[in-house]
Amino acid sequence: MIIDTSKKTVKFSEGEVVDLGVLTALVALFSDDQPGTDPEPDPSTVVIAEYASQSDSEHRKWYTVKQFKDNHFTCDCPDYVIRRSKDGGKCKHIIRVHYRSL
Ligand SMILES: [Zn+2]
């Protein structure tokens, strides 16, 4: 087995049997020496702000509106969760927060 760490390749000779433990160690070795190569997180999953938006029907109730890095919003109210999230629409809480944050 020839390990080329600069090219991050392993050359196995024909018929060579490699233990899974060795393979795991190799993977760890290769991942350890390339810091900062983690893929950029998907901007649609990165929350950049959270807002509390009050429920109109129940004033003790507050919903959490989240703003994501790609500038889409989600809300945890039933209207959004059940209806809007499917068609990418905005509930009134998101609309309120959206205009407040502009
Ligand atoms: Zn909402």
Shared-domain flag, residues 92 and 52: yes
44-58 pLDDT tens trace:
999 999 999 999 888
Q: Could you tell me the distance, in angstroms and rounded to a whole number, from the CA of residue 9 to the centre of ligand 1?
A: 50
Q: Could you tell me the distance, in angstroms and rounded to a whole number, from the CA of residue 88 to the centre of ligand 1?
A: 13
In a domain, 10, yes or no: yes
- What is residue 66's predicted lDDT score, i.e. its pLDDT? 95
Secondary structure (DSSP) of 18-85:
--HHHHHHHHHHHHHTSTT-SPPPPGGG-EEEEEEEE-SS-TT-EEEEEEETTS-EEE-SHIIIIIIH
Give me the domain span that covers residue 60: 43-100
- What is residue 102's predicted lDDT score, i.e. its pLDDT? 65
- What is residue 62's predicted lDDT score, i.e. its pLDDT? 95
Q: Could you tell me the distance, in angstroms and rounded to a whole number, from the CA of residue 42 to the centre of ligand 1?
A: 23
In a domain, 49, yes or no: yes
Judge if pTM exceeds 0.75.
no
Q: Could you tell me the distance, in angstroms and rounded to a whole number, from the CA of residue 94 to the centre of ligand 1?
A: 6
- What is residue 3's predicted lDDT score, i.e. its pLDDT? 85
Domains held by the chain: number? 2
Q: Could you tell me the distance, in angstroms and rounded to a whole number, from the CA of residue 66 to the centre of ligand 1?
A: 10
Shared-domain flag, residues 48 and 82: yes
71-83 pLDDT tens trace:
899 999 999 999 9
Neighbours of ion ligand 1 (CB under 5 A): 63, 75, 77, 80, 91, 93
In a domain, 37, yes or no: no
Q: Which residues of the chain have pLDDT under 50?
A: none
Shared-domain flag, residues 27 and 71: no
Q: Could you tell me the distance, in angstroms and rounded to a whole number, from the CA of residue 86 to the centre of ligand 1?
A: 13
Torsion angles phi and psi, residue 86, rounded to 5: -75, -35
Shared-domain flag, residues 47 and 23: no
